Amino acid sequence: TPQSAQTRAPREQWTGQIGFIIAAIGSAVGLGNIWRFPGVAYENGGGAFLIPYLVALLTAGIPILFLDYAIGHRFRGSAPTAFRRLGGRTGRGLESLGWFQVAIAFVIGLYYTVVIAWAVSYFVFSFDLRWGDDAVGFFTADYLRVSEPGFSLDFVPGVLIPLVLVWIVTIIVLAGGVAKGLQRANTWALPVLLVAFLALVVRALFLDGAAEGLNALFTPDFAALADPNVWIAAYSQIFFSLSIAFGIMITYASYRRRRSNLTGPGLVVAFANSSFEILAGIGVFATLGYFAFQQGVAVDELDRLTGVGLSFMTFPAIVSQMPGGALFGCLFFGSLALAGFTSLVSVLQVVSAAVQEKFGLSVRAAAVSVGGVSAVLSIFGFSTTTGLLALDVVDQWANNVGIVASAVITTILLMWVLRRGPELRDHLNAISTFKVGRSWIFLVSVLVPIVLGYMLISRIITLIV
């Protein structure tokens, strides 16, 4: 049977702890760090946001990151396999929780690729500032052609070509396996990302108006701390940003050697991710400060400060006005593409590993089949004008509802129904340098389900109403 074939083959491994850390940072540092964190922090109390953000990191982000590591490493499998083994006699039922995470990962992969493809296009457009004077019109009408035939299934050629390219590279990386594919791609991409992004931040800091931008971002509005939505924003930023609760960290941890320090590297990954996030806040707001200065307005009069609007409408407009804008544009869109790519491969590995184990496929066969199916779906689904409108809806449900639901179900099931807290804690502590105690069990079994349960309900209500 596939399962017995699976137990006979030795599990793939990172070449060492550093390889794992690099890949895990690559996964965590993604679009969320660059286009989501700065605007979210700005809108939720500015400098004061750092308080709920840190609280969320310490009380939910790192504890769930550890939980993911413990599950993946102890039960040595992708999400469905690990949950099945963890469940013992109830394993079949638990396996479906793993498949739920795989489904979320699969869906996220479909549209994450599209955004990376846009970033690749815009990297090329930066050379000659192709968007001209009207960046918004260029993006919607010329590039995406959203306004054209309304709901038509015509391909958007400008999106199609980079999208196919991104898929080809992704499949090649996945087919290379853990050490020769994922680890190697991250070892190459992460340093390039870091250098490019640092160059961008330094350049941004020398622009006129940069200081105003930083003031706008960091001036604390302590009154915001009384608003529960600010706290929810912090928790959800941390969740998405750390790539936790949708199978990624379970899968990645399953490729570590049996005797591994789990918590130490976990802290490194978590703090590296937050550092990059703050760095991105500085770079983005210094640039926005310049933009406001150019227009003779205050930073708080600007709009489109997050997500697609920030990256593909506001930033191109700024780049056009800036001396040496072409290089700045290349650095920005190159960073966006690289940060996104190292996250993309991690999310697809969740699907690919699960399929390998379920059907007894080789790494290559799983990579090609999972990559192929996803590629076709994402190309037909999202490179069409209709699909681009669907992207937003899918994003809302997968991120805001799917991941949070997955975290709530996992913690309640593991901690309250199956009562595996002490066992997982002992597993974490076996070799790790940083020991977790009863507070970890408390956070994962009490605080996380309460905070996230509240978040989930309020989200579903806002999405439906």
Please identify, using beta-carbon distances, which residue of 28 and 351 lies nearer to ligand PHE.
28
108 touches ligand PHE (CB under 6 A): yes
**Pick from 30, 87, 162, 266: which binds ligand PHE (CB under 6 A)?**
30
CB 32 within 8 A of CB 237: yes
Give the bridge partners for 384, in sequence order.
Answer: 155
3-state SS, residue 381 = helix
Nearest partner of 281 among 76, 24, 39, 16, judged by Cα = 39
CB of 37 to ligand PHE, least distance (A): 8
Q: Which of 22, 28, 200, 232 binds ligand PHE (CB under 6 A)?
A: 28
Nearer to ligand PHE, 112 or 122 (CB): 112
Q: Please, which residues have CB within 8 angstroms of residue 35's CB and are 6 or more apart in sequence?
A: 284, 306, 307, 308, 310, 311, 336
Q: What is the rounded CA–CA span in Å between residue 263 and residue 170?
A: 29
Segment 327 to 356, residues that bind ligand PHE, using CB under 6 A: 343-344, 346-347
Question: Of 66 and 131, which CB lies nearer to ligand PHE in the complex structure?
Answer: 66
Q: Which of 54, 431, 452, 59 is nearest to 262 (CA)?
A: 431
* Choices 26-34, 49-57, 96-104, 410-418; region in contact with ligand PHE by CB under 6 A: 26-34
Are 114 and 391 within 8 A, CB to CB? yes
What is the spatial distance between Cα 441 and Cα 428, in angstroms, rounded to a whole number?
12
Which residue lies nearer to ligand PHE by CB, 319 or 336? 336
The correct pick among 14, 100, 106, 112 for binding ligand PHE (CB under 6 A) is 112
Q: Identify the residue among 33, 101, 260, 445 touching ligand PHE (CB under 6 A).
A: 33
Is 98 a binding residue for ligand PHE by CB under 6 A? The answer is no
Please identify which residue in 24, 25, 27, 305 interacts with ligand PHE, judged by CB under 6 A: 27
Nearer to ligand PHE, 342 or 385 (CB): 342
Please enumerate in sequence order all residues whose Cβ is within 8 A of that of 271, keeping only pairs 6 or more positions apart, or say none: none
- Part in contact with ligand PHE (CB under 6 A); list of ranges 132-140, 160-168, 239-247, 405-413: 239-247
Q: Is 315 in the site for ligand PHE (CB under 6 A)?
A: no
Question: Residue 137 in contact with residue 365, Cβ under 8 Å?
Answer: no
Q: Is the distance from CB of 101 to CB of 403 less than 8 angstroms?
A: no
Rank residues 32 and 39 by Cβ distance to ligand PHE and give the closer one: 32
b/e 150-177 (16+ beta carbons within 10 angstroms → b): eeeeebbebbeebbeebbeebbebbbbb
Taking the least distance from each CB to ligand PHE, the nearer of 30 and 87 is 30
Q: Please work out the total of residues on this chain that contact ligand PHE, with binding judged by CB under 6 A.
A: 16
Residues in region 240-269 near ligand PHE by CB under 6 A:
240-241, 243, 248
Candidate segments 29-37, 38-46, 211-219, 381-389, binder of ligand PHE by CB under 6 A: 29-37
Q: Considering the complex, what minimum distance in angstroms separates the CB of residue 238 from ligand PHE?
A: 10
> Is the CB of residue 296 less than 8 Å from the CB of residue 305?
no
- Taking CB under 6 A as the rule, does residue 113 contact ligand PHE? no
Give how far Cα 413 sits from Cα of 25, 80, 244, 418, Å.
28, 15, 17, 6
SS3 content of the chain, % helix, strand, coil (to 5): 80, 0, 20
CB of 246 to ligand PHE, least distance (A): 8
Count of C-beta atoms within a 10 Å radius of residue 465: 5
Q: What is the 8-class DSSP label of residue 154?
A: -
The stretch near ligand PHE (CB under 6 A) out of 236-244, 315-323, 378-386, 402-410 is 236-244
32 binds ligand PHE (CB under 6 A): yes
Min. distance of Cβ 90 from ligand PHE in angstroms?
29
Which residues of the shown chain bind ligand PHE in the complex (CB under 6 A)?
27-28, 30-33, 108, 112, 240-241, 243, 248, 343-344, 346-347
